[in-house]
A and B are shown apart, each in its own frame.
Chain A
Amino acid sequence: MPPDLAVRPAARALAPRYWGVHLLMVAAVVATVLLGRWQYDVWRAHRADNAASVTRMSPVPLDSVLGPDAAYPGDGLGRPVTVEGTWDPAGTVFISGRQRDGQTGYWAVTPVVTASGSEIPVVRGWLTDPGKAPAAPHGAAALVGLLQPPEDTGAPDDDPSDPVLPELSITDLLQRTHRDLYGGYVIATDRAVPGGTATAAGTAGLAPAEAEHLPGADASTGLRNLLYAFQWWVFGAFAIFMWWRWLMEDVLERPRRGGAGTGG
């Protein structure tokens, strides 16, 4: 080993004639990290799309998915249903602590009395201040809503006399009406009701509310993209390893202990 090599290996490794290789290694690592990130994002997008796909199904009548006295169905998360009946504006409540685009606000909820005589709470939309809410709708209701399960975590209502509730709890709402309630609620959309009935969704003056409960994506959704992402990252790691071995053995001439393979 030449004496200068023992003293200054870094200077030797950084000699201009090796810059190209160093640069190539950095470029390879950056490229593989970015390509992996890209496939990882594709995987995430596939999963989000798969979870939301139920909300794009054709709407079916509410009672065919959730009867007035039935328990919430397992496949009902986010299912579009048609709700027809009569608005009960007196039953309007506001649910606090609802997020939309990073802002906390309220849901405006007005029940609809269906032909069965039971009420289904309809989330008409989102707003920042219940004091400035548009007047609750009255008369005929006809809308396509996304079915959601009731929220009954038992969050305490600090003021039961006002129309603001901490969660969309069917138990709490039962105390505000003399009718039966469905075991769930819907989030109103602006989609047209099939069959030509004029849509009366009560969403005017409100920002659209987002469905919070959607089914999880299948484990296999976009799995290929996740595996591609890992492939790229494995490559990046191996590029660093190869560069390191080359630097140690070919540039600094430090053979690996034990020696590389023997002849066969």
Chain B
Amino acid sequence: MSVSKGLFVAYRVLAMVVGVLLAFCALIVFPARHFATEGSALQQWGEQWSILWLAHGWIFIAYVVVSFLLWRQTRWSVPFALLVMIAGLVPLVIFWVEHVVTRRIREEHPELATTPG
């Protein structure tokens, strides 16, 4: 089955947004909120920005839905599909997974190889 170009682009955009949000939340906001001195400016900054977890959560749901639709078109194996979806929960891994997915889709669907990026 062919892969929809719109879906492919949506996947890549969502992967980047989820990846940046997750890295920011997990590697910067979380340590600031939990390891900085209680009541310090840094700790309060972490408290404020921890609202982004909520954004990550909902955008991640969109990412999973798009990944699922892409999976239905590509018929990846179950383990690979799971890797793609769960990558949105592990900081930084999603950037590598997005790279692998992009390469794989371009190899299997040369008609999409012209997509910029």
Which listed residue (A260, A263, A264) contacts B72, Cβ 8 A?
A260
A263 to B75, Cβ gap below 8 A?
no
Residue in A224, A242, A262 whose Cβ sees the most chain B Cβ within 10 Å: A242
Q: Mark B46-75, 1 if CB is under 8 A from A, else 0.
A: 000001011001100100110011001101
Residues B72 and A245 in contact, CB atoms below 8 Å apart: yes
A194 to B8, CA, bound (A): 68
Q: Which residue of B lies closest to A231 (CB)?
A: B57
- A228, closest chain B residue (CB): B57
Task: Tell me if A228 and B5 are in contact (CB < 8 A).
Answer: no
Chain B residue nearest to A255 in the complex (CB): B1
Chain A residues with Cβ below 8 Å from B51 are 224
Q: Establish whether residues A228 and B4, one from each chain, have CB atoms under 8 Å apart when the complex forms.
A: no
The number of residues on chain A lying at the interface, defined by a beta carbon within 8 Å of a beta carbon of chain B, is 19
B7, CB-defined interface residue at 8 Å = yes
Query: What's the count of A-B pairs with C-beta under 8 Å?
Result: 47
0 or 1 for each of A238-264: is its CB under 8 Å from B? (1 = yes): 100010011001100000000011111
Complex: chain B residue closest to A20, CB-CB: B78
A106 to chain B, nearest CB (A): 45
* Bound-complex Cα distance A21 to B3 (A): 24
Given the complex of chains A and B, what is the CA–CA distance between A249 and B75 in angstroms? 9
A21-B54 contact in complex given A238-B64, A263-B5, C-beta closer than 8 Å: no
Contact A228 B54 (CB under 8 A): yes
Q: Which of B8, B58, B68, B78 contacts A21 (CB 8 A)?
A: B78
User: When each residue 1-17 of chain B gets 1 if its CB lies under 8 Å from chain A and 0 otherwise, what string results?
Assistant: 11111111000000000
- A contacts, CB < 8 Å to B: 21, 24, 224, 227-228, 231, 234-235, 238, 242, 245-246, 249-250, 260-264
